[in-house]
Amino acid sequence: MPAPSPNNATGGLSALGEALRHGREAQGLSIAELAGRLNMGLEQLQALEAADASRLPEAVFVIAQARRVASNLAIDISGPLQMLRASGPFQPQAARVQTSPAPGPAGPSPRPSPRPQILGPLALAAAILAGVATGGVLLRQQWLQQRAQPGPAGSPIPVPTAAQPAAVATSSPELVLRSQEPSWLEVKAEAGKVLFRGTFSGERHFPLGGGLQVLAGRPDLVQAQLGTAPSRALGPIDQVRWQRFSAPAP
């Protein structure tokens, strides 16, 4: 099998992942055992060995992760790293966001509707107002009649009360992510749907729904806030792993 071309980013990443996998297998370690020993997300280590760029952060963080793994396994990965650097940085494409179609060229102004069509809604509104007024008069007359009739001693006089306002629906809880510096970020629902993937900075709100999973290339830069709880960093710089968030119990 020919060696991957130095100008191919996928080939450089594949060589790196293969070197790490061979080093791990040579020591008789399972991928789960190595991930636990490194305090590293299992999915991240799997993506690194499989050279799956779509599940990895920017190249600079991939190199940092690979060095941690190689240092723990006491193996030399300078060759694959040089090949990866020569191929140029890689980065997965940001998830596409559906946008509304651009407005078409301005056409002629619509002709005004004839006056008889306007009278319909006005007449309907007038009828509704008249019905409300009539209902109020009848209600007051009924109350006056009940008040005039003598009731049992000590019985209170019924007084019509205003309708209680309907309960206001509370908004669903959200996860707020903030970062003052750019960081690679991926957010997906528990069902697997990707809500955001790409370079992130600023502030974004994500409805919690059935739960969210968050992965940041620089977890120390990204602050997460769940509901009214205080915000906190996703983790130290060397703990690049998936973080799960769910709605607090009522």
Element spanning 243, H or E: strand 243-245
CA distance 14 to 45: 13
Nearest to 94 by CA among 58, 147, 143, 136: 58
| Contact status, residue 213 vs residue 243, Cβ threshold 8 Å | yes
126-183 pLDDT, tens digit per residue, is 555 555 455 555 555 665 565 555 555 444 545 445 444 444 444 568 999 999 999 8
Q: Which DSSP state fits 118?
A: H
Rounded alpha-carbon distances, angstroms, from residue 65 to 1, 9, 17, 53, 186: 27, 17, 11, 13, 17
Q: Quick check: pTM over 0.75?
A: no
User: pLDDT tens, 175-222?
Assistant: 999 999 998 899 999 888 899 988 999 999 999 888 899 988 899 999
Residue 25 or 137, more confident: 25
pLDDT value at position 142? 61
Do the beta carbons of residue 92 and residue 54 sit within 8 Å?
yes
Q: What angle do CA 239, 243, 246 make, to 5 degrees?
A: 160
- Residue 139: per-residue pLDDT: 54
Q: Is the pLDDT of residue 114 over 80?
A: no
Domain ranges of the chain: 9-86, 174-245
Cβ atoms of 139 and 160 within 8 Å: the answer is: yes
Its CATH architecture, for the domain 9-86, is Orthogonal Bundle (1.10)
Is the separation of the CB atoms in 244 and 211 below 8 Å? yes
